[in-house]
Amino acid sequence: MQLAKKIMKELRRTPERLYSVDEIFALVGGGGVSKSQVTKTLRVLEDEGRLSRQGGAGFRLATTADPLTGVFKASRRGHGTVSLADADIHIPASQTHGAMNRDTVKVSPNRRRGPGGRRNGQIVKVIERANKRIIGRFEHHRRFGIVVPADDRLTYEFSVAPRFFSDAQTGDIVELEVTRWPLDGRLPEGTVLRVIGQDTAPGMAITMILLAHRWPDVFDDATLAEANQAPTTVGADDIKNRLDLRDTFTVTIDGLDAKDFDDAISLETDPEGGFKLGVHIADVSNYVTPGSALDADAQIRTTSVYLPDRIVPMLPHALSNGICSLNPKVDRLAFSVMMDIDPDGNVTDHRIAQSVIQSDARLTYEEVDRHLVKGYFKDERLQQLLQGMELLSHVLERKRLARGSLNFETVEPKLLLDEDGHPLEILIRERSRATQMIEETMILTNETVAGFMLEREAPMVFRVHDRPDQEKAYTISKLMDELGYPVGSLAKAHPRTFQALIDYAHDRPEKLLINSLLLRSMSQAKYSPKLMSHFGLASEHYCHFTSPIRRYPDLLVHRLVKAVLADDLDSPESRALVDELEELAERCSRQEREAEAADREATELKVAEFMADKVGEEYDAVISGVTNFGLFVELANTAQGLIHVRNLGDDYYQFEAERHLLRGERTGTTYRLGQPVKVKLTNVSVPKRELDFALLPTPTRDI
């Protein structure tokens, strides 16, 4: 906005002076600029935190002491954070002043920092409400109704007057329009717009989670119409001017339950120990074009969501499982990256081209692992490819770790459900030889594409990952020291230091906890048109290119690479795309976080449901968190829950925050982070996704 730039330029001349609206209009008005335009622009600059208004005295440049603008991210306990450019401000529950999760707010940081250097503050104004409609459970009381939000980060209950019930009954899941906000101690109010269904309906609990995260679970009619009109086969005209790789032996390798296949690989080895690797990615951009209904719907989602009982795809089934999926034995359009790699894992040459391929086989991770372990292969070509890929993955991993990239050792629950969606078993996914093979290949491909665009100084969407912030680094340093790990300050540490801690924990019982804590200390990766390094991968340039069926950023990168290859960056379509990159990157980052939260909550729900009939059973556990009100513990099957301090025995326990432990005043018994314990499950609340445990008598003493 040119007017905003002019105002900021004028006020920077005397940054401490107060200017009235009339004075600012005199400086920047004229030339068709009205006073009302100046007034509106001043309000925008104030909301953005760039200007500060001193009552009726006028405006001046904002200082660090002025309220700043950001988005409030609430926790389920009411407190939260406001992320600013240079720090995260912690907001205690008592200082939210009616703000709700995702609201755009003004926050005033405290002058003094809290424990660990944490910056606290208070919300002084809600600028924009994010939750104008709420999904929740309706409860009919005698004279009014209550809607309890499905999103537990919205910690208020909403009152509904009888005339605004619609046809809602107790237990119905409803959509509510907010008519009064929670200010000055008032209970917020709303009107029921529609009844979605009963809370006991099959799959409704996870549907509620999706809706709470404002995730569309159906496609627009126009989107479905376009998808149904898409071709089902590749025609002769489609492959003109494309690199023909249909005679190249190519396979896809995915999970057993995968339905769409957007990456395939081919490999040749040379006598000198080098590799010719081909990574072939579905050319989704050929079918999803800018301005189409398909593209508009994909922009709303920006990613597929993978939940225990369903997949909510970014693209309709006709595309994601049909013409865009690299199904075996059929021609498919692809974007191929061919790389010459020397024995040390260096890419010595590469070529990126639009291609046509025909996958020879659809393999699963489980199948590939069996082949590699038993040494049995269906044919010689498959043997050469898989054994060559395993060798290459080791070479690439060694090179990546040598530069400081992180290899977290984590486990991920996979829930086995019956036909009605009830959990039968919790399986544990761990990194295998096959998954490592594909991970290393895709990391290299993404780096190669990012480097290709960087060399050409072309517009790009990078995948970036900042180093841990000062507060998190301080906290994790103290914690590692308390656990006896050889670590100094992590504030400016190289990723190798973090990897050293992972390696140190490898053979210790608290290995998974240490990996989890280190992961929590990391900044969130995000998408950006601005080049930044990727801390976790220790990579100077990185992007997402390899999953365009399920990730919109990959689709954007495909379009940008195509424009470079065609020397078409100056076209109106390309310029329009470049102008939107920053906004699209921010949206993709935001939606990715929502999808991850929905997946996490849905998994917690099914884990709680799995544990519901196991009350009274005993388990080995590890203390994964210590608070003033008790201990959080984690079981081997990833289930987590709370041992309340009242269930720790006949002693009064003091919480030592710096040491992450509880200490009994009378007995001296201590319970600390990472300590193995024996527990009994005492209660499960499936709707709240909460498990309660009691500690069995196996205490240890601090000497």
Could you give the CA distance from residue 551 to residue 18 in angstroms, rounded to a whole number? Answer: 48
Higher pLDDT, 683 or 516: 683
**What percentage of the chain carries pLDDT values higher than 90?**
60
Q: Which of 267-281, 298-312, 321-335, 403-417 has the least mean pLDDT?
A: 403-417
Distances (CA, A) of 460 to 39, 554, 580: 36, 11, 11
In our burial notation (b when 16+ CB lie closer than 10 A, e otherwise), range 146-162 reads bbebbbbbbbbebbbee
Q: Taking the CA atoms of the chain, what radius of gyration do you get in angstroms? A: 28
Predicted confidence band of residue 293 (pLDDT cuts 50, 70, 90): very high
Superfamily of domain 68-128: Nucleic acid-binding proteins (2.40.50.140)
Q: Which two tokens stand for residue 329?
A: 């034995």
Residue of 479 and 298 predicted with greater confidence: 298
In tens, the pLDDT along 589-625 reads 999 999 999 999 999 999 999 999 999 999 999 999 8
Confidence of residue 41 (pLDDT cuts 50, 70, 90): confident
Q: In a 3-state reduction of DSSP, which class is residue 699?
A: coil
Query: Which residue do the tokens 């990185």 mark?
Result: 542
Minimum mean pLDDT among 109-113, 351-355, 559-563: which range?
A: 109-113
Backbone phi and psi for residue 425, each to the nearest 5 degrees, phi listed first:
-160, 150
Q: How many residues does the chain have?
A: 703
pLDDT for the residue 165: 87
Beta strand pairing status for 669-672 and 158-160?
unpaired
- Measured between alpha carbons, how far is 213 from 207 in angstroms, rounded to an integer? 10
pLDDT at 509 over 50: yes
What gap in Å lies between CA 380 and CA 378, rounded to an integer?
A: 7
Cα distances (angstroms) measured from residue 590 to each of 52, 86, 472, 603, 604: 28, 18, 21, 20, 21
Identify the three-state secondary structure at position 280. Answer: strand
What mean pLDDT is predicted for residues 677-698?
92
pLDDT computed for residue 703 by the predictor: 40
Output the pLDDT for position 114.
Answer: 59
Q: What is the pLDDT of residue 567?
A: 95
Helices 433-455 and 552-565, axial angle in degrees (round to 10): 40
In the numeric block, which tokens belong to residue 485?
């790990």
CA distance 507 to 511: 7
- Can you tell me the mean pLDDT for 254-275? 92
- Whether the CB-CB separation of 332 and 326 falls below 8 Å is answered with yes
Quick one: pLDDT band at residue 54, thresholds 50, 70, 90?
Answer: low
What are 181-198's pLDDT values in tens digits?
A: 987 677 899 999 999 999
Which range, 73-82, 266-275, 498-507, 515-524, is most confident?
266-275
**Mean pLDDT, residues 342-358 taken together:** 97
Q: What is the pLDDT of residue 111?
A: 65
Of the candidates 350, 575, 580, 316, which has an alpha carbon nearest to the alpha carbon of residue 445? 350
- Residue type, position 544, single letter: H
Cite the DSSP H helix spans in 363-510: 365-374, 380-402, 433-455, 470-482, 495-505
The pLDDT-based confidence of 482 (bands split at 50, 70, 90) is: confident
Q: Where in the chain is the domain with CATH 2.40.50.700?
A: 133-201
Confidence (pLDDT) at 86: 63
Give φ, ψ of 318 to 5 degrees.
-60, -30
- Please, which pLDDT band fits residue 18 given cuts at 50, 70 and 90? confident
Geometric angle at alpha carbon 94, from 91 and 96, rounded to 5°: 50
pLDDT band at 47 (very low <50, low <70, confident <90, very high): low
pLDDT(472) > 80: no
The per-residue pLDDT of the chain, averaged, comes to 89
358's CB contacts (< 8 A; 6+ apart) are: 246, 250, 329, 330, 331, 332
Q: At what angle do helices 293-301 and 552-565 cross, to 10 degrees?
A: 130
Q: Where do you find CATH 2.40.50.140 in the chain?
A: 68-128, 615-701
615-701: CATH class? mainly beta
Give the model's pLDDT for residue 58: 81
In terms of phi and psi (left: phi > 0; alpha: psi -120 to 50; beta: otherwise), the region of 538 is left
Q: Which helix (H) or strand (E) holds 555?
A: helix 552-565
For position 85, what pLDDT does the model report? 63
Band of pLDDT at residue 547, cut at 50, 70 and 90: very high
Q: Is the dihedral of CA 10, 11, 15, 16 positive or negative?
A: positive
Please answer whether residues 78 and 155 qualify as being in contact, where contact means their C-beta atoms are separated by less than 8 angstroms.
Answer: yes
pLDDT of residue 511: 82
Which position has the token pair 């080791």? 394
- Arithmetic mean of pLDDT, 80-90: 80
- Can you give the pLDDT at residue 172? 94
The residue written with tokens 């935190």 in the block is 49
Residue 214 pLDDT exceeds 80: yes
Q: How far is residue 121 from each of residues 113, 400, 433, 468, measured CA to CA in Å?
A: 9, 40, 48, 21
Q: Which residue has the tokens 């030592």?
A: 656
CA distance linking residue 439 with residue 217, whole number of Å: 29
Instruction: Give the CATH fold of the 133-201 domain.
Output: OB fold (Dihydrolipoamide Acetyltransferase, E2P) (2.40.50)
Cβ contact 435:541 at 8 Å: no
Alpha helices per DSSP H over 612-656? none
Please choose, from the candidates 57, 62, 11, 66, the residue with its C-alpha nearest in 3D space to the C-alpha of residue 38.
11
Task: For the chain, give the longest Cα–Cα distance.
Answer: 83
Percent of the chain with pLDDT over 70: 95
pLDDT at 614: 97
Written as one string, the DSSP assignment of 81-131 is EEE-SS-EEEE-GGG-TT--TT-EEEEEEEEEE-GGGPEEEEEEEEEE-S-
Report whether 80 contacts 101 (CB < 8 A): yes
Q: Which two tokens stand for residue 215?
A: 């995730």
User: With 0-12 CB in 10 A as exposed, 13-18 as middle and 19+ as buried, what is 501?
Assistant: buried
Architecture, CATH, for domain 2-61: Orthogonal Bundle (1.10)
Distance (Å, rounded) from C-alpha 671 to C-alpha 669? Answer: 7
**Bridge partner list, 340:** 276, 349
444 token code pair: 């290299």
For residue 48, count other CB atoms closer than 10 A to its CB: 14
Give the least confident one: 452-456, 470-474, 476-480: 470-474
Mean pLDDT of 619-634: 93
Instruction: Assign 3-state DSSP to the chain and report helix, strand, coil percentages, each to 5.
Output: 35, 30, 35
- Paired residues of 251 in beta bridges: 265, 361
pLDDT value, residue 64: 57
Answer for the pair 465, 525: CB distance below 8 angstroms, yes or no: yes
Structure tokens at 221: 């009619």
Q: Is pLDDT at 429 greater than 90 in this prediction? A: no
Residue 35 binned pLDDT confidence (cut-offs 50, 70, 90): confident
Q: How far is CA 259 from CA 210, 287, 322, in A?
A: 21, 19, 10
Mean pLDDT over residues 28-41, rounded? 80
Q: Which part of the chain has CATH 1.10.10.10?
A: 2-61
Higher pLDDT among residues 681 and 472, named by residue? 681
Name the more confident of 462 and 86.
Answer: 462
Cα distance between residue 685 and residue 539, in whole Å = 43
User: What is the phi/psi pair of residue 71, to 5°?
Assistant: -105, 130
Distance CA 311, CA 384 (A): 34
Residue 457 contacts residue 647 (beta carbons within 8 Å): no
Residue 15: which pLDDT band, with cuts at 50, 70 and 90?
Answer: confident
pLDDT digits (tens, 9 = 90+) for 392-418: 999 999 999 999 998 888 888 999 999
**Which pLDDT band holds residue 66 (cuts at 50, 70, 90)?**
low
Judge whether 637 and 671 are in contact, CB under 8 Å: no
Detail the DSSP E strand segments found in 563-668. 618-627, 630-635, 640-644, 653-656, 661-664
CA distance 205 to 197: 11
Give pLDDT tens digits for 355-387.
999 999 999 999 999 999 998 888 999 999 999
Helix axes 433-455, 380-402, angle to 10 degrees: 60
In contact, 299 and 585? CB cutoff 8 Å: no
